[in-house]
Amino acid sequence: MLLDKTILELATGLRSGEFTSVDLVNECYDNIAKYNDKVNAFITIIPRETALKQAQEIDCKLKIACLPARQENCKLLAGIPFVLKDCFCTEGIKTTSASKVLENFIPPYSATIYKKLLDAGAILIGKMNMDAWGHGGSSENTDFGSVKNPWDTTRVAGGSGGGPAVAVATRMCVFAVGEDTGGSIRNPAGWTNTTGLKVTYGRVSRYGAIAYASSFDTVGPVAKTVEDCAIILETIAGVDKFDATSSPNPVPQYSKLLNKNLSEITIGIPKEFYGDGLDLEIKEKVLQVAADLKKSGAKIKEISMPLFDLCLPVYYLIAPSETSSNLARYDGIRYGNNRDNFTDETIRRILIGTYALSAGYYDAYYKKAQQVRTLFIEEYQKALSQCDILLQPIMPNNPPKFGQLLSDPLQNLLADIYTVSQNPVGVPSLAIPCGFTKSGLPIGAQIIGKMFSEELLLSIGHEYQKLTDFHTKKPNLQI
């Protein structure tokens, strides 16, 4: 199967004439026909003929642009099919954020990352299912039907970006771009055996992304391998005149900086992240990551992050406060939209946020949470002064059966316990597959570094994927 190959392998094959972009696109659509009815990953599927026309044009360009004398003009993503989480505006293509509020919304403009990918020659084949507005950790809180986990279709795929991760896991595309506000890339990556990167805040433009919590939102890649994520990131990262929060820091050629000697790397193990509530199989597999990297020369150091217990209350005061403000633009009184179109989870977050911002409660809740957020920043700075990266679990448990999180809203929030402290701080985190449970469900680990340390995280993750083959495994969906 061509779609089992990495982006670099596909790019090499396209340039050598071993296969064509048309072949790749047809294989994607063949897999969509086989698998999407079983997993419900797509909200919008671009017509096959539209994608094939683009592929044919790319194939013609590759024959010219990739002559030996013109190799420098040949972009690695040219002719590569991809998908987007349905929170990114795509001019002329429906964008819903998985909510019936936007069921028929056709954006008049495109998100910056979408334009960058098109400029690189990548081919969009679909917009992906998710928790509506990004509100959830299971991709059940969607108005377009729940996303199912391809490793066990009675279980959730993770959220809010379940659709993009499932599409990569089932080879219905080569890669995806998602949005991570509190784990929405990393959570489904961990539960579907894919690789996902939550970038430093501002590393990638948010222009054209439908906001959940504006000071937490980040845009990043989901793919089969760390190397693929590096190639995607160097394409989509960079300053954007349309996003004042985007960083002017230069964008390294991440894919050419992956081979790093780990002998000078110290991996921090925050003991608070391995205590009560963490499934023992997950704990064992994540700690094995440290043991494997130690064999490559890395040093291991146990550290302490005592503010860990406060991460959930801080996140779930600030994020709902920002979403209550962001979603005010869809208010039924002002614009005629029916408030009944909001899911229970979205209504719950709007109410919490509005309450926290209201007169008499602002100082006690929202302001206090922002003060603790500053303490979190200091906590991460202190932890990362003792080591180069932190190794943590992604999720405390295996993907639950459908309905388990919906029936217990508090448990739904607790599922994010390991992923919500990084977004308020702004630091990057890389999710990588690290094994399977005895019952065959995927387990993921996340490695976290200082702001703008994506180069380091990617190089360490790449080394780990050279040592192991977990990331090459794919679900056996019966056709």
Distances, alpha carbon 264 to alpha carbons 297, 327, 447, in Å: 8, 46, 16
Contacts of 468 (CB under 8 A, 6+ apart): 292, 434
By the 8 A CB rule, do 74 and 31 touch? no
By the 8 A CB rule, do 426 and 201 touch? yes
Contacts of 289 (CB under 8 A, 6+ apart): 391, 432, 434, 445, 464
pLDDT of residue 453: 98
> How many domains, in total, are found in the chain?
1
By the 8 A CB rule, do 194 and 165 touch? yes
pLDDT of residue 360: 87
Closest CA to 428 of 398, 461, 465, 467: 461
CA distance 115 to 379: 37
Residue 178 in domain: yes
Looking up residue 445, the CATH number of its domain turns out to be: 3.90.1300.10
Residue 135 in domain: yes
Residue 376 in domain: no
Q: Choose the catalytic residue: 146, 160, 205, 453.
A: 160
pLDDT of residue 417: 92
pLDDT of residue 70: 44
Range of the domain at 28: 2-264+427-472
pLDDT of residue 69: 39
Ranges of the chain with pLDDT below 70: 65-74, 332-338, 410, 412-413, 478-479
CA distance 173 to 39: 14
Task: Rounding to the nearest 10 degrees, give the CA dihedral for residues 131, 132, 135, 140.
Answer: -40
Residue 30 in domain: yes
CA distance 329 to 323: 11
Between helix 226-236 and helix 112-119 the angle, nearest 10°, is 110
Residue 94 in domain: yes
Catalytic: 321? no
pLDDT of residue 478: 65
Residue 72 in domain: yes
Q: Choose the catalytic residue: 5, 21, 75, 85.
A: 85
Residue 8 in domain: yes
Tell whether omega for the bond before 160 is within 30 degrees of 0, i.e. cis.
yes
Closest CA to 164 of 198, 197, 130, 132: 130
Catalytic: 459? no
Contacts of 92 (CB under 8 A, 6+ apart): 106, 107
Beta bridge partners of 127: 44, 84
Closest CA to 175 of 76, 84, 71, 294: 84
Q: Choose the catalytic residue: 184, 247, 324, 421.
A: 184
pLDDT of residue 410: 67
Place of tokens 């403009």: 109
Catalytic: 358? no
pLDDT of residue 415: 79
